[in-house]
Amino acid sequence: MASALDTVITQPPRIAVVFPGQGSQAVGMTAELAELYPQIRDTFAEASEALGEDLWAICQNEEQLNQTQYTQPALLTASIAIWRILQSKISNKPLYLAGHSLGEYSALCAAGVISLADAVQLVHKRGQLMQEAVVGIDTAMAAVLGLEDGRVLTLCEQATEHVDDAIVGAANFNSPGQVVISGNAVGVNAVIDKVQNTGKKAIPLKVSVPSHCALMEPASQALAQTLAATKFDQANIPVIQNRHAQIETSVQSIKQALTEQLSEPVLWSKTMQKLADKHIDILIECGNGNVLSNLAKRQDQPIASYPVDKPARMDKLMEVLS
């Protein structure tokens, strides 16, 4: 079968840009780009001033970087720094933006909905609220591989109904055959056992907070108040949001989708399918790592995807676009 890289590219190419979420962070991220592009350090300086924290220094400190309240603004800043480089290098404007979980905030910032200063403060608060929501609770997440979405949902429902104190649900529908589950340890472990009984794999994930599950509802309610007080504008590039895998047009609906996103699953497979339906033929992963590029290869309709977090990768994209 032909790979996404064999896709015939139209001229001019139809481009979408996607922004990664939590888990993509790495110590020293964007350092190589910073040696060539002043936008990196300038963006980190701007974001650090707004937050009152040295985000560049945090990116060099693994312990701090992996604390949710710092991970989120650091990743968003890295993504927007790379976005600013892309804006200076790519002549044709992307047709759509999307972000995976936290990455949705990067997408909205890139689309002009939220300022960088407001965005880093917003996701910093989001990280704090997420951490506070599960204080004293033994939580977990796991990636279920090889089962259909509906089967994973059924296993989560069975665990919730039949295992004492279990809280578990689907958190991310990442690609066909890859669903991340989230909840308390009792619930997640119960589903892991059920998955293994089917002969499929369930891999526990190293996370500090169980995103996109019922345990996040208190954080979601508190986040709504912060969102209400944050200035949002209309998007200058359409953003496909996680909640319903659709483009929200009013400020109120954008904020509502962000509020619900915290305790509801990320519909990434549907987002990627929507981009395929829009005849997107180049996907640019704007942020650290290549998680979303790898997921793009596994969709029912793969799209050629290019990470740009290192100079060689940026050069590769420029070569393709030329």
Enter the tokens of residue 301: 């309709």
Name the catalytic one among 24, 48, 79, 101: 101
CA 276 centroid distance within chain: 19
Q: Rounded to whole angstroms, how far apart are CA atoms 177 and 170?
A: 13
What contacts 172, CB < 8 A, 6 or more positions away? Answer: 100, 101, 179, 180, 212, 265, 266, 268
Q: Rounded to whole angstroms, how far apart are CA atoms 179 and 53?
A: 35
303 contacts 293 by C-beta, under 8 angstroms: no
Q: Rounded to whole angstroms, how far apart are CA atoms 71 and 66?
A: 6
Closest CA to 261 of 206, 223, 208: 223
State yes or no: is 162 an active-site residue: no
Q: Rounded to whole angstroms, how far apart are CA atoms 96 and 316?
A: 21
Listing from the earlier edge strand, what are the strands of the sheet with 201-204?
A: 168-175, 178-184, 139-145, 201-204
State yes or no: is 124 an active-site residue: no
Closest CA to 94 of 299, 284, 297: 284
Enter the tokens of residue 98: 């999307």
What contacts 264, CB < 8 A, 6 or more positions away? Answer: 212, 242, 243
Please state whether beta strands 139-145 and 178-184 pair in parallel, antiparallel, or not at all (unpaired): antiparallel
Name the catalytic one among 124, 211, 212, 220: 212
Q: Rounded to whole angstroms, how far apart are CA atoms 317 and 294?
A: 16
- Tokens 């912060």 — which residue? 226
267 contacts 176 by C-beta, under 8 angstroms: no
Query: Which sequence positions are flagged as catalytic?
Result: 101, 212
